[in-house]
Amino acid sequence: MSASPCLAVILAAGKGTRMKSDLPKVMHPLAGAPLIAHVLEAVREAEIGRVCAVVGPEMQSVGEAVKAVVPAAEIAVQEQQLGTADAVKAAGSAIAKEDGPVIVIYGDTPLLGAETLVALRDALEAGADLTVIGFEADNPTGYGRLLIDKSGALTGIREEKDADEAERALTLCNSGIMGFRSGEVLATLLARISNHNAKGEYYLTDAVSLARASGLQAKMLRAEMRDVLGVNSRGELAEAEAAIQTRLRSKFMADGATLIAPETVFFSHDTTIGRDVLIEPNVIFGPGVVIGDGVTIRGFSHIAGARIEAGATVGPFARLRPGAAIGEGAHIGNFVEIKQSDIAAGAKVNHLTYVGDASVGANANIGAGTITCNYDGIAKHRTEIGAGAFIGSNSSLVAPVKIGEGAYIGSGSVISKNVAPDALAVTRAPQEERASWAARHRARGARNAGRNKKT
């Protein structure tokens, strides 16, 4: 934790009307984690010791998402959504206690990196009273515009709805990230903010002109738009997703993974990948995936909550669900689904198989079309397959059941009782053969067709 005190106030009480959703806006996922979790991750990485998140009433899920990343965070409730300055006021008691800088961050700015926050804190510690992170927008629609005077000084922020035509043409925008030298400076400015504007809201952005009017110094630091993009709509959520995926792909390639078609691979915020991993096109990672060195993930695989050890091969068209643990050098082939199961080193599950709630011993071979029947309609049961066992194709293993080490299961068997090590178990009906039956069958068919024609 950083030696110098600093408070981050995260605003997340807005309804997010433009998302047209029952879910609070900041809870919409980006690379598998809520928007607000990304913001908090940056705050944590910047070693900002104190965090206060402002949530709306009945937004318990938001408070929980905050505490999942920063357990010590304070949660303040803004009863009515009267604007960003009003939301900051809801964090008043946390702000009053802060002698060091206070940084206000909007919970809908998920691409924010720790380096931007560190630069802002440095500027405040160097004596700036108020500092705003600005950016040059390709399309400034929806953002507040930064007003700069002839000497290059920041004089105010104009919200889009209050802007005249000339102001709307400005492309230097407010990212929403704003720092204050101390809790006291912020509290003094907050007390003066009114709601005399187009939206009838208390705008935090008015703090800039008020600071100037009372002789305080207001500064601007620049960031790249891709780092401070605000998410207000589903379209912007998709833009943010594209940006974060680009970042994750670059990071994994830099760390030594080969992505044949990076733009077709989708990662989760927490995916972990070793060196010399090959990922073929069209692979999707859900949360909680850890991949060891030298693993190959072949095309069109979907992987979530799975651990894949060194040298294993997965796919193409494999589905690994939570709790799948694939051992060293194991092979998981096409149209195979694995859930809550340990597949030990060197085991092969190569074709058209469902393995759920099971353990598969080292070097076992699971034939094509094997199904672990883990669910009886009421409860789930386990299947244990010993090391070196051979499960013949198209077998059903009705759990709970154990197949001993080195045992063989004849193809097409339905196994509902335990099988001893090194035994053969087979439950097929004996094969019957009727000589020339097919020829007689065809002859009968031909006679009938002839008769039908005459009538």
Interface contacts to ligand UD1, rule CB under 6 A: 11-14, 54, 78, 81-84, 86-87, 106-109, 143-144, 157, 159, 173-176, 203-205, 230, 232
Residues that bind Ca ion (CB under 5 A): 108, 230, 232
Nearest residue to 183 via CA among 274, 100, 276, 278:
100
* Rounded least distance, CB 165 to ligand UD1, Å: 18
Give per-residue burial for 21-50: e unless 16+ CB within 10 Å, then b: eeebbbbbbbbbbbbbbbbbbbbbebebbb
Nearer to ligand UD1, 204 or 336 (CB): 204
Judged by beta carbon distances under 5 to 8 A according to partner kind, the member of ligand UD1, Ca ion, none in contact with residue 84 is ligand UD1
What DSSP letter does each residue of 193-259 carry, written as one string? ----STT----GGGHHHHHHHTT--EEEEEE-HHHH----SHHHHHHHHHHHHHHHHHHHHHTTEEE
Judged by beta carbon distances under 5 to 8 A according to partner kind, the member of Ca ion, ligand UD1, none in contact with residue 253 is none
Nearer to ligand UD1, 108 or 384 (CB): 108
Judged by beta carbon distances under 5 to 8 A according to partner kind, the member of Ca ion, ligand UD1, none in contact with residue 384 is none
* Rounded least distance, CB 82 to Ca ion, Å: 16
Judged by beta carbon distances under 5 to 8 A according to partner kind, the member of ligand UD1, Ca ion, none in contact with residue 205 is ligand UD1
Q: Which residues contact 291 (CB under 8 A, 6 or more apart)?
A: 271, 272, 273, 274, 277, 297, 308
DSSP class of residue 311 equals T
Residues recognised as catalytic:
351
User: What is the token pair recorded at 30?
Assistant: 């980006």
Judged by beta carbon distances under 5 to 8 A according to partner kind, the member of ligand UD1, Ca ion, none in contact with residue 173 is ligand UD1
* Rounded least distance, CB 147 to ligand UD1, Å: 12
Return the residue nearest Ca ion (CB atom): 230
Please give the Cα distance from 204 to 9 (Å, whole number).
12
Using CA atoms, how far residue 41 sits from 45, 61, 259, in Å, is: 6, 17, 26
- Which residues are bridge partners to 397 per DSSP? 372, 415
Using CA atoms, how far residue 90 sits from 24, 107, 201, 323, in Å, is: 18, 15, 15, 42
Judged by beta carbon distances under 5 to 8 A according to partner kind, the member of ligand UD1, Ca ion, none in contact with residue 268 is none
Nearer to Ca ion, 237 or 277 (CB): 237
Nearer to Ca ion, 108 or 309 (CB): 108
* Rounded least distance, CB 263 to ligand UD1, Å: 27
* Rounded least distance, CB 40 to ligand UD1, Å: 13
Return the residue nearest ligand UD1 (CB atom): 144
Nearer to ligand UD1, 17 or 448 (CB): 17
* Rounded least distance, CB 176 to Ca ion, Å: 7
Nearer to Ca ion, 52 or 173 (CB): 173
Give per-residue burial for 201-227: e unless 16+ CB within 10 Å, then b: bbbbbbbbbbbbeeebebbbbebebbb
